[in-house]
Amino acid sequence: MSIPAGTYTLGPEHGVLSVRTGRTGAAAKAGHDLLIHVTAWQATLEVGEDPAQTRIALDADASSLRVREGTGGMQALGDDDRASIQETIDDEILKRQAIAFRSTAVETADGDRMSVRGELTLAGATAPIAFDLGVDDQGALSGSAVVKQTDWGITPYSALFGALKVADEVEVAVDARLPQSL
């Protein structure tokens, strides 16, 4: 699907922005792979008549990340665990700092896929990132990017004297539906 020229504003009411983490280390069996939703975010997609004029911007509240699912581990993830993880993300990992993405280039690879390059600001550091976005005939927008935490100066969370660690690479994904053009 070719997206008609216009400005599209998306947020949690249009879909899900999520983060998936994995675990490593000698005690990895004790931890959980997490599915975390970003509950406060806004993205703007400005589609130009010329595809080279297309721009994407995203802003997210770093303190709005909420654990939705924890798989694996020695025991089920409880409410206290979820609260502790949220506190760790807020205070130690992202430190409540703004998350922002600004595209520097958007290219239409084919009628239903866009290749996006840009700058991601995370935990006070900015670094380049690239990913693909797909759009189907019903306006469903989906894509993901691998974010290597250390590229943004983030030390992945560890416990048990480093025997249990969150994997350095996490997957950030969007699954949303385009609203009507403004």
Residue 181 pLDDT: 52
Residue 90's SS3 state is helix
Percentage of the chain surpassing pLDDT 70? 96
pLDDT tens, residue by residue, 19-52: 999 999 888 888 889 999 999 999 999 988 887 8
Answer for the pair 122, 154: CB distance below 8 angstroms, yes or no.
yes
Question: What tokens appear for 12 in the block?
Answer: 């949690």
CA distances 21 to 9, 68, 77, 102, 170, Å, are 27, 12, 14, 23, 5
Cα gap 108→96, rounded to integer Å: 34
Nearest to 88 by CA among 173, 12, 164: 164
Cα gap 95→79, rounded to integer Å: 21
Q: Does residue 55 carry a pLDDT above 80?
A: yes
Q: Does residue 175 carry a pLDDT above 90?
A: yes
How many C-beta neighbours within 10 Å does residue 34 have? Answer: 25
- Domain parsing of the chain, residue ranges: 6-177
User: How far, rounded to the nearest angstrom, does the alpha carbon of residue 72 sit from its chain's CA centroid?
Assistant: 22
Q: 6-177 — its CATH code?
A: 2.40.128.110
Answer for the pair 103, 56: CB distance below 8 angstroms, yes or no.
yes
